[in-house]
Amino acid sequence: MQQLSNKVSLITGAAQGIGQATALKFAREGAIVIVCDIHQDAIDDTVKQCQALGAQAVGHVVDVTQREQVDAVVASVKAQFGRIDVLVNNAGITQDARLVKMTIEQFDRVIDVNLRGVFHCAQAVADTMIEQGQGVILNASSVVGIYGNFGQTNYAASKFGVIGFTKTWSRELGPKGIRVNAVAPGFVHTPILASVPDNVLKDMETRVPLKRLGQPGEIANVYAFLASDEASYVNGAVIEVSGGMTV
């Protein structure tokens, strides 16, 4: 049986990496997948891959920092499908520098995408989910959002903030039938790690009890579970998916 049959699922940053793996997993599980990202070609490619799996999928160019673009996508999805069952707030970026070197521009950009973007998307779908009396919001945090990380002042603040959103919204929206949870991946093989030197990646691998980095599909599986009715009593949780890296 498919886990997410006909669930209208809006996924941000869905054109590559963990977001794309999540779109494909949701497609395999029967969801109607709304692929949101900033690059049209990559969006089209992901939509085609979802459709090849037999799913209904549509793509939207949307920059999560731009509230009017987010509102327009939500309105379009509602007009086309009548509801929004799941939001996966996956879009995120890094712009690393030590505290003493970080520019205001680096700080602002990461907060804008990773924190304000998540706020925009959640607020944009909340009324619809409240009217429906059901919905699921899933937020991408990180182990860095629990423990901090060298060179990631801006990113760590954004990912700690996402956990704050998750706990707050789970209290506010739980009584309305909406579950809100966060996933905190460890280090996962995606383009976001492109700027991390090889020796640092090797060192990370040795620190993980499973002795390897994660694969995007291993995070997608957890999003799919949390989005499904199987997770009906999971609310306000932060699920670490790190191969045990922080044990």
Per CB under 6 A, 185 contacts ligand NAD: yes
Instruction: State which residue, 124 or 134, has the beta carbon closest to ligand NAD.
Output: 124
Of 147, 155, 223, 233, the active-site residue reads: 155
Instruction: Give least dist CB 133 to ligand NAD, A.
Output: 28
Map the footprint of ligand NAD across residues 115-134, applying CB under 6 A: 117
Instruction: Give least dist CB 171 to ligand NAD, A.
Output: 23
Per CB under 6 A, 45 contacts ligand NAD: no
Map the footprint of ligand NAD across residues 207-236, applying CB under 6 A: none
Per CB under 6 A, 17 contacts ligand NAD: yes
Contact region for ligand NAD (CB under 6 A) — 10-18, 146-154, 173-181, 226-234?
A: 10-18
Instruction: State which residue, 160 or 176, has the beta carbon closest to ligand NAD.
Output: 160
CA atoms of 174 and 88, how far apart (whole Å)? 17
* HEC letters along the chain: CCCCCCCEEEEECCCCHHHHHHHHHHHHCCCEEEEEECCHHHHHHHHHHHHHCCCCEEEEECCCCCHHHHHHHHHHHHHHHCCCCEEEECCCCCCCECCCCCCHHHHHHHHHHHHHHHHHHHHHHHHHHHHHCCEEEEEECCCHHHHCCCCEHHHHHHHHHHHHHHHHHHHHHHHHCEEEEEEEECCECCHHHCCCCHHHHHHHHHHCCCCCCECHHHHHHHHHHHHCHHHCCCCCCEEEECCCCCC
- Binding ligand NAD (rule: CB under 6 A), the pick from 8, 19, 85, 240 is 19
- Binding ligand NAD (rule: CB under 6 A), the pick from 9, 16, 152, 170 is 16
Count Cβ atoms below 10 Å from residue 166 Cβ, excluding itself: 27
Known active-site residue 155: yes
Map the footprint of ligand NAD across residues 59-88, applying CB under 6 A: 63-65
Instruction: State which residue, 78 or 189, has the beta carbon closest to ligand NAD.
Output: 189
Map the footprint of ligand NAD across residues 124-183, applying CB under 6 A: 140, 142
Instruction: Collect all residues with Cβ–Cβ distance below 8 Å to 78 and sequence separation of at least 6.
Output: 84, 128
Q: Which residue ranges make up the site for ligand NAD (CB under 6 A)?
A: 12-13, 15-19, 37-39, 63-65, 90-93, 113, 117, 140, 142, 185, 187-188, 190-193
Q: Which residues are catalytic?
A: 155
